[in-house]
Amino acid sequence: MVKSYLLTVGDYTRRLPIIPIDETHGMAVFVLLGDARMTHESAKLLVDKIPDNFDYLVTTESMGIPLVHEMSVLSLHSEYIVLRQSKKIYMQSPIAQKDYVDRWGNTKNMYLDAIDSKRLVGKKVVIVDDIVTSGASMAAASELLKSVGAKVVAQAAILAEGDAVHRKDLVFLEGLPLFEQNGDDFEPVSLD
């Protein structure tokens, strides 16, 4: 019985609080933003696992941003691309991946600045995120990138949560279980 979950990535261990996500399930909350050591460690390990030969790392805001920044520095790529969750006034002709359904059942959009889309035509990209759960964000990013002519050569995340551990098309560092509620406590759902 646990109310927190100990996660180790490389040399660092974090105690993740478990919160209820519905009446019967819980999730261990992994917040990368602000954790410079974990970001650096994860970036170092992920860079070693993705193909060497790519043009851009791409992420969806927001938690993936520090990670792709660090991975770009480590892999000697001077630029990276961020897909936005809202349309910004300064975006010129933003390209939208519309109405994808996230794992909470919410309808979301994803936007790419047309300036970035021009840079991506025919380029090899690696999509990076902090965590993949339902895969909805990664799938929407992949569709959007392919629609502008980029070639997705790998998909990578620090954590694969729940059933995402079984994905063969995902490079990841660690599995993170989902949890079943048992009274006031939570038990991890097996990742097997």
Ligand X SMILES: Nc1ncnc2[nH]cnc12
- Give CA separation, 43 vs 68, 73, 84, 112, in Å: 7, 9, 21, 23
Answer yes or no whether residue 117 interacts with ligand PRP by CB under 6 A: no
| Least distance from ligand X to the Cβ atom of residue 81, Å | 21
Work out whether strand 95-101 and strand 107-112 pair parallel, antiparallel, or are unpaired.
antiparallel
Among the residue ranges 34-42, 48-56, 125-133, 175-183, the one whose residues contact ligand PRP (CB under 6 A): 125-133
Out of ligand X, ligand PRP, none, which partner does residue 97 contact, by CB within 5 to 8 A per kind? none
Among the residue ranges 27-35, 52-60, 79-87, 119-127, the one whose residues contact ligand X (CB under 6 A): 27-35
Q: CA triplet 122, 127, 129: central angle to 5 degrees? A: 165
Among the residue ranges 12-20, 127-135, 144-152, 183-191, the one whose residues contact ligand PRP (CB under 6 A): 127-135
| Least distance from ligand PRP to the Cβ atom of residue 114, Å | 23
Out of ligand PRP, ligand X, none, which partner does residue 129 contact, by CB within 5 to 8 A per kind? ligand PRP
Distance CA 114, CA 59 (A): 16
Phi-psi region of 162 (alpha: psi -120 to 50; beta: other; left: phi over 0): left
- Give CA separation, 173 vs 15, 22, 84, in Å: 17, 27, 25
Answer yes or no whether residue 7 interacts with ligand X by CB under 6 A: no
Contact letters for ligand PRP, residues 85-104 (x by CB under 6 A)? -----------------xx-
Q: How far is CA 44 from the centre of its chain?
A: 16
The one-letter code for the residue type at 35 is D
Distance CA 154, CA 138 (A): 11
Pick 83 or 120: Cβ nearer ligand PRP? 83
Candidates 26, 66, 94, 135: give the one binding ligand PRP (CB under 6 A): 135
Using CB under 6 A as the criterion, which residues of the chain lie in contact with ligand X when the complex forms?
A: 27-30, 131, 133, 161
